[in-house]
Amino acid sequence: MPIHRRQPSIELLEFMGVVKENGNEQASIPPVHTPLSYDYVLVAKTMDKQEREVFKKQNEYIEELKKKNLKVTKIIDDDLVFYGIQAPKEIFEKYRYLLKVSDACNWSSDQNIVPLSTRIRIVHFILNHTPIRSGEVLRDLMKMKVFEAKFCLHEKKKQRELKESWARWTACLQGQPINAVRNYFGEKVALYYLWLGWYTYLLIPPAIIGVVVFLYGLAFFNSSPLIKEVCEANIVMCPLCDKKCKVWQLSDTCTYAKVSLLFDNNGTVLFAMFMAVWATLFLEFWKRHRASYVCEWKVSDWCEDEEELILEIVNNVNCEPKTYKHSYLRSTLVLICVTAMILVIIGLTHVLVVFRVIAAVLLAEGSWEFLSTHSNSGAMMLGAIFHYFIITVMTRVNRVVAMKLCEIEKTRSFAATEKSFTVKMFTFQFFTYFSSLFYVAFFLGRINGHPGGYVRIAGKWRLEECHPSGCLTDLFIQMAIIMVLKQTISNVFEFTGPWLHRWFKKRRTQKLQRKCAHCYLKDDIETKEGAELCDNCKLRDWLGNYRLNDVDSFSLFNEFLEMVIQFSFTTIFVAAFPLAPLLALINNIIEIRLDAIKMVTLERRLVPKKTNDIGVWIDVLEAIGVLAVIANGLVIGVSSDFVPRLVYRYYYGPCVNNTATDIDCMVGYINNSLSIARMDDQNIEEFTSFQMKTQGGLNVTYCSYKDYRSNKDYSLTPQFWLILAVRFAFVILFEHVVVICKFIAAWFVPSAPMHVKNDRLFDKLNRLKEELSV
C-alpha cells in the first residue's frame, strides 16, 4: 500500500501556525458506529386531551419513521417527551453503494466506511423529508408545535478533545485543528474556519503597514505647512448654519486639521494600491490551500446536488426527481422586489442625511457652548450611532425579505436556496452598511452650494459642509464608529446571549442526575456495536443537549456574513481608514475562539455538511476585491485632497517655475483653496448682522468658505476645472494600474498546486485500474 504523502501547502499552513495537526493522523476518519449515542433526537411537550390533534400528528410521524425501519426510543421527563432515533445499517449501506455508482461523487471520500458525521447528515435528511398523511413534513410540524426541538447529539469524548485543543481562550494564538473540526462538524464548518484562519493570518501585513501609514502622518504633526497654516491662520470662516451660527476662526479647528493629515497623506495612495493587490493574493492563495485540503479529504469532485439526489433515493426508492424549472415571471417579480428593497435602503440613507442636518442645527442652537461650537462633529457622530441602529433593525428585515424572495423563486434544492439567499442577503446588507458611507465619501460637501446659493432640504435646512482640511476625516470617523460598535457589541451579544440562554434553561429544568458508574466506563472505552447507555444516562445526555442554544441550516451563514462584511470594510474604504486591518485582525483573533467556544459548548451540534468549497462566498469576495479598486480610486481621487494638493504644488504653488527655493511648496495651499463671500453683495441674504460678529464682538464684512469660486459672481474658477480633470485622470490611471496588477497576481498564482492536480490524476488512474481488475 503506498505511503500517504502530505500536501506541502498544508505543511506550510502548519509551519505558519494557521492550522495544527498530528502528523500523518491528521485526516483520520472517526469510527463507523457510535454505540453509546443516537443519530438524532426529537423533543415534544407532553399533551393533554385538548391537544388531541397535535398528539395524533406526533404519533403519526413517529409511525412513519418506524415504517422506514428507524429505531425510535421514547423517554418521558416531566413535561418533555424525548424520541431518540437510530437508523439501521441497511440505510447506510444503500447510501454507500449509490455513492459508489454516482457520476460525480464516486471519486469522493472513502466509500468503505460511513462516519458518524455522514450518519447524522443522512438521518437529518430522512427526518426532514418524511411526510405524514396530510402532507406536513418535520418543518411544518415544528411550526405547529407538534415537536419543540430537533438536534443531533454532541459526543462527549470528542467535545472534550476540541475544548482542550481549540475551543478555549488560551488557544487564541495557536493554530486550529482543522481536521478534528472536519471530523466532528463536517467539511463545511472546517472550510469556514480554515478560511477565517487564513484571512486572519494574512491581515498581519496590512495591519502593520496601516500602522506605518498612520505613524507617517503622525510624524508631520508639527512640521506640516498645511497644519501650520490652519493653526496660525487669521481667516474668518462663514457660518455653518442659519440664524444661530456665527462666523468662526479657521485656527479654532487646528486639532481637526491634524487628525485629517493622519489619514489623508501621500502614504494612503500606496497603501490603497497595496490593499487591492493584497485582496487578490489573499483569494488566490486561499484557493490553493482549499484545493490542498479538499484533495486530502477526497472531496475534490463532490457535488451537493448529486448527493441530495442520492439521499432522496435512500429516503424513498420510488421518489421522483425535483426537475429544473425557470419562470421569467417569478424572476421578474424577484428582480422588482430586490430593486424596491435597495431603493428603500437608499431612502434610509436620505433619512440619515436629514437627521444629521437637523441634528447639526439643533446642536448649534443649543445652550451648551461646546456642542454649539462643534455642532457638525457632534451631528456626524450622532449620525454614525443612528446608522448603527438602522443596521441593527434592517438586518432582521433584510433576512425576512430575502427568505420570502427565495420562497417566491421556488428553488429546486437546499443548495440552490442557500446560494440564492446568500446573494440577496449580502446585497441588502451591503447597501445597508455602505450607502451612508458612499454619501459621506462622494457627496458630502460637494452638493451643498455656496453663500447666496445654498442647497437646502425642504427649503429650510442647509446641507453639511466639509472642513477646509478635507472630507476624509468625516468618512474615517463614520467607519471607525460603525466598525468598533459592530465588532464590540456583536461579540458581546454573540457570546453572552447563548451563555445566558443556557443558564436560564438550566434554572427552568431540574438538575441532571449523575451518570451511573457502568455507563461512565462505557463512555471512556471502546465498546462493541449495539451497546447502549441506560435510560437515565440517555436522558441526562439528551437533556444536556436540549438545554443548549438552537442552531439551524443558516447558523454558519451568519458567521460568514459577519466576516465578509468586515472584509468589505477592510478593503473598500481602506484609503480613509488605514487602521481598519488592525481592528479586523484583533477582532478575528477573538472571533475564531468565540465562535469555537460557542459552537462546541454553548450550542447544539450543527448537522455536519460535506462540501468542497465555501460556495458563492468566493464570488462575493472577488466582487468586493474589484469594487475595492474602484472605491479606493474614487476616495483618493475625489474625496481626499491628494489631487488638489498635487495641482497646487506643481501649478499654483510658490515652487512653480523654480521661483522659490527656501520655502515649502505647499505654503499658501489652505488660503488658495478658500473663496470669499462679501456682505455688501446683494445676492447674499443668508447671513444676519448677528452671525457676522466674531466671538470677540468684532463685526466683519466678509468671510471665507471652501470652494474654488470667483469672488465676484461666484462662478467656478479655471482651477476648479483643472483639478476636476486631474481627479478623473488619476482615478482612471489608478484603477487601470491596480487592475493590471491584480490580473498579473491572479495569473502568477495558480488556483491549485501542481502536486494536488497530480495526486488527483494518479488517484483516479489507480481507481480505474482497480475497477478494471475486479
For 447, the 3-state DSSP assignment is: coil
Q: How many CB atoms lie within 10 A of CB 506?
A: 14
Q: CA geometry: angle at 235 spanning 231 and 240, to 5°?
A: 100
Q: Name the grid cell of 81.
A: 417527551
First to last CA, the chain: 17
Q: What percent of the chain has pLDDT over 70?
A: 88
Let me know: does 74 contact 28? Beta carbons within 8 Å.
Answer: no
Which tens digits make up the pLDDT trace of 40-95?
999 998 876 556 788 888 899 999 999 998 989 888 887 889 999 988 888 888 88
* Residue recorded with cell 489507480: 766
pLDDT category of residue 700 using cuts at 50, 70 and 90: confident
What confidence score (pLDDT) does residue 23 get?
44
What confidence score (pLDDT) does residue 761 get?
82
Which tens digits make up the pLDDT trace of 375-413?
777 787 888 888 888 988 999 999 999 999 998 988 888
What confidence score (pLDDT) does residue 661 get?
65
Q: What b-and-e string marks burial along 368-388, b requiring 16 or more CB atoms within 10 Å of the CB?
A: eeeebbbbbbbbbbbbbebbb
85 - beta bridge partners? 40, 72
Over 70: is that where the pLDDT of 638 sits?
A: yes
What confidence score (pLDDT) does residue 516 get?
61
CA trace torsion 452, 457, 462, 466 (10° rounding) = -110
Starting at the earlier edge strand, list the strands of the sheet with 71-77: 71-77, 80-86, 40-45, 149-151
Over residues 677-699, mean pLDDT: 80
Let me know: does 244 contact 366? Beta carbons within 8 Å.
Answer: no
Let me know: does 740 contact 273? Beta carbons within 8 Å.
Answer: no
Over residues 448-470, mean pLDDT: 77
Q: How many CB atoms lie within 10 A of CB 650?
A: 12
Which tens digits make up the pLDDT trace of 12-51?
777 677 787 654 444 544 444 444 568 899 999 887 655 6
Considering the chain, what is the average pLDDT of its residues? 83
User: On the CB side of 770, how many CA atoms lie within 13 Å of its CA?
Assistant: 7
- Helices (H) and strands (E) in the chain — how many of each? 27, 10
DSSP code of 471? S
Over 60: is that where the pLDDT of 520 sits?
A: no
Instruction: Name which residue leads in pLDDT, 520 or 196.
Output: 196
In angstroms, what CA-CA distances link 224 with 269, 643, 654?
Answer: 18, 17, 16
Compute the distance between CA of residue 348 and CA of residue 352 in angstroms, rounded to an integer. Answer: 6
Which tens digits make up the pLDDT trace of 249-273?
888 888 888 888 887 778 888 888 8
Q: What percent of the chain has pLDDT over 90?
A: 22
Mean pLDDT comparison of 1-10, 204-213, 258-267, 371-380, highest-scoring range: 204-213
What confidence score (pLDDT) does residue 193 get?
94
Which tens digits make up the pLDDT trace of 554-590?
778 888 998 999 999 899 888 888 888 999 999 999 8
Which residue in 256, 302, 295, 250 sits closest to 121, CA to CA? Answer: 302
Compute the distance between CA of residue 367 and CA of residue 386 in angstroms, rounded to an integer. Answer: 23
Which tens digits make up the pLDDT trace of 474-510?
788 888 888 887 778 777 777 777 777 767 766 665 5
Over residues 720-731, mean pLDDT: 93
By the 10 Å C-beta count (0-12 exposed, 13-18 middle, 19+ buried), 624 is classed as buried
